[in-house]
Chain A
Amino acid sequence: MIGLLADVVGRVSDQATTSTTTIPVPCSISSGGAKITSVCSDTNSLHISVAYRSILPVLVLVIGALALLAISAVLPKRSRPGLYALLTVAIGGLALIASVWQWSDIGNINAHVPAGAQAALNYRLAHQLTIGQQVFYDRFSVLFMALVSVATILGAMTTDSYLRREGLDGVEAYVLMLMAGTGAMLMAASAGLIMLFLGLEIMSISLYVMAAYHRRRTQSGEAGLKYFVLGAFSSAIFLYGVALVYGATGSTQFLEMANFLGANSLSHNGILLAGMALLIVGLGFKVAAVPFHFWTPDVYQGSPTPFAGYMAAVAKAAGFAGLLRVLDMGLSTQQANWRPAIWLMAVLTLLVGSVMAIAQRDLKRMLAYSSISQAGYVLVGLQAASSTGTAGALFYLFTYTFIIMGTFAIISIIQGRGEARNDLGAVRGLAKRRPLLAAVLLVFLLAQAGVPFTTGFLAKFYVIQAAVQSGQYVLAIIAMLSAAIAAFFYLRVALLMYGTEGEAVAGAPGVSGGAGVSGGAGAGDGSILAGLQPIPSLDGATATATLLDPPAVDEKVRLPVAVALGICAAFTIAAGLSSPMIDFARHATTLFNLK
């Protein structure tokens, strides 16, 4: 599809030299065979017109982050608890309003597309490839900007009470969150590999610090260090892929790459294939696709809980935005080469994520594997390489943001001060202690399991539908199987929350008889925990006894967290009933299917 686009662009740029059209033509795109020069006439005049409206939410976040730093320098330390969170929510809200405005602005651009394929293309490139041709101004970008804005709002709401409980309150967390959001937005909007790399690094460097944010917890520093070393490793791999693809195609711009590959068939495509593989590996690390997922459980477990939610939502979404841009736009002509690789990654990610999650006893670790498995569904949508698949993947990422941030927010409440209780036992009897909280967590768990009347079901439905439409029946069946496996560990948590002792024993197949017996008098209750947490039989009784103590944590839900949870749950149910979201997602793929 982009190949066709490329041909047309080639013709347009040839004609542009003779015709007197007033629309600026991207001069660096030349027809196949000829040497591609990146220096074009309008950049030679040292004047690059910057269409600020195409990066409005990014500007809001950057300026907001700097303003927060300035304000914190002026105000006395700890003057107003919660002030920074409030300001961050306001900044996120402004960014969300800006992206909504952008959406309608692009509607205006779309409304004035002239008739005729060539003129329409000319018009689109002039209006939607902005800022020195580095940024796409399409609804795909805008949808991700809205996603990041929403995640920043929810993140600030849930972070505040966590930081105050842990005695870490300060402006840095919010500034880092805003900067990470900036990078994610730039990744989604990138029109070239260098822009993509810059966005990736802006996001990743902020996330490394966020992972290591909890000064007094050893796990947090360790998570930060692991994330940093493996993140830097994957960035280097990604960058080598950029260099090789640049060498093979002569450009780092997606449209020029597609143009070149559409017009020329390479006699030796080894460099291109190697570069493509390295790009997939580098971005695969960022989205935590198997087999590049090793860092995920450690980092999610060690990071401060609300930040883990932010990572799971934003870093994953931005990584997938990058993959979609690179594979579906830049390398769309190489589908035959990358689709099998993505197919294999999708299968591995789906199965390994679900199966490994069953074996986990730590809530955050379990959610990390669960989020790996969820990434598999997005890969199914990506693998379809169709506008249906892309729309399904976008829908999945957008709805998953609400689900996963809500889930991590609840975990940060029930884990108690100092993240004392992260094991599965912490949710036991939650329905009795906190019925409403348990109900909300149940909604999120059911949504992740893909139960109908939640967004999780629709999201899985759309990506599997895309797989079936592209003839990938095996992949569709594996995706459904994986959902069945995953339902087991989501429902296990639900049973722990709601079950009376007897029901829970019957419903927890992980119970091991021997450990249950060693649990002694509290066998009915203890066997669940013993089954989940293998205890050496000698000190089984004491260990079970300590586990059976009701969690002595303050499970008070502060107002901002309650509001955030309400938003997440309401969206998960409401958008699951009848969803205009999928229409938004379909609108967002306009630049992908210029057939």
Chain B
Amino acid sequence: MTVPGAWYLVLAAVLFGLGATGLLIRRNVLVMFMCVELMLNAVNLTFVTFARLLDDVGGQVSVLFVLVVAAAEVVVGLAIIVAMFRRRAAATADDIHVLRG
């Protein structure tokens, strides 16, 4: 049995939606961060599916770029989070309230 390509696209869209929703509603910064990763991996799945459907290697190459960039982003993001929450008990976004207006 072969799985139609469209199913992968739908799965990716659902994953992306889950990530976006999670980012907007979760309060723990680390979980928000994981949601971004989920969104990026949904994009990767989309790229690979289209690459297969179009029989084109470009999409698969794009995935490598995305992975590398995501890794770089993780490094910087975690560094900022650690610097920010070093003196606090929990890494919740509710603590970030100095800037408002």
Contact = CB atoms under 8 A, between A and B. Distances in A.
Given A229-B33, A239-B43, A247-B50, A194 B84 contact: no
Contacts, number: 124
Contacts of B73: 201, 205, 232, 235
Contacts of A246: 47, 50, 58-59, 62
A209 B80 contact: yes
Contacts of A307: none
Contacts of B33: 229, 232
A242 B99 CA distance: 33
Given A201-B72, A243-B43, A35 B66 contact: no
Given A225-B29, A242-B62, A37 B56 contact: yes
B36 A236 contact: yes
B25 interface: no
Interface stretch (A9-17, A89-97, A214-222): A214-222
Given A201-B69, A221-B84, A194 B62 contact: yes
A144 interface: no
Contact of A222 (B36, B57, B99, B101): B99
B83 interface: yes
Contacts of B46: 240, 243-244, 247
A26 to B, nearest CB: 14
Interface string B23-42: 10000010011001001101
A224 B54 contact: no
Contacts of B23: 229, 233
B101 A360 contact: yes
Contact of B99 (A219, A252, A361): A219
B98 interface: yes
Contacts of A360: 101
A387 B64 CA distance: 36
Contact of A221 (B40, B76, B80): B80
B10 to A, nearest CB: 12
A161 B40 CA distance: 40
A309 interface: no
A252 to B, nearest CB: 6
Contacts of A215: 83
A215 B98 CA distance: 15
B19 to A, nearest CB: 7
A314 to B, nearest CB: 18
A311 B32 CA distance: 24
A325 interface: no
Nearest to A215: B83
Q: Kindly name the residue among A215, A224, A226 whose own CB sees the greatest number of chain B CB atoms within 10 A.
A: A224
Nearest to A369: B101
Contacts of B47: 243, 246
Contact of B80 (A225, A298, A302): A225
B39 A240 contact: yes
Contacts of A235: 73
B47 to A, nearest CB: 5
A433 B5 CA distance: 70
Nearest to A239: B43
A544 B99 CA distance: 23
B40 A250 contact: no
A228 interface: yes
B94 to A, nearest CB: 12
Contacts of B42: 240
A225 B50 contact: no
Interface string A188-220: 000000100110010001001100100100110
A137 to B, nearest CB: 22
A251 interface: yes
B40 A239 contact: yes
Nearest to B84: A221
A39 interface: yes
Contact of B101 (A36, A208, A243, A365): A365
B90 interface: no
Contacts of B11: none
A301 interface: yes
A298 B100 contact: yes
Contacts of A244: 46
Which of A212, A229, A252 has most B Cβ within 10 Å? A229
A248 to B, nearest CB: 9
A254 to B, nearest CB: 14
CB-based closest 6 A-B pairs: A247-B50, A236-B39, A243-B46, A38-B58, A298-B99, A232-B36
Interface of A: 35-39, 194, 197-198, 201, 205, 208-209, 212, 215, 218-219, 221-226, 228-229, 232-233, 235-237, 239-240, 242-244, 246-247, 250-252, 297-298, 301-302, 360-362, 365
Given A218-B98, A236-B43, A302-B98, 18 more contacts: A35-B56, A36-B56, A39-B57, A198-B65, A208-B76, A219-B99, A228-B77, A229-B23, A229-B36, A232-B73, A233-B36, A240-B39, A243-B62, A250-B54, A250-B56, A297-B101, A301-B101, A302-B99
Interface of B: 9, 16, 19-20, 23, 29, 32-33, 36, 39-40, 42-43, 46-47, 49-50, 53-59, 62, 65-66, 69, 72-73, 76-77, 79-81, 83-84, 96, 98-101
12 contacts: A201-B69, A205-B76, A209-B76, A209-B79, A218-B98, A229-B29, A229-B36, A243-B43, A247-B50, A250-B54, A301-B101, A302-B99
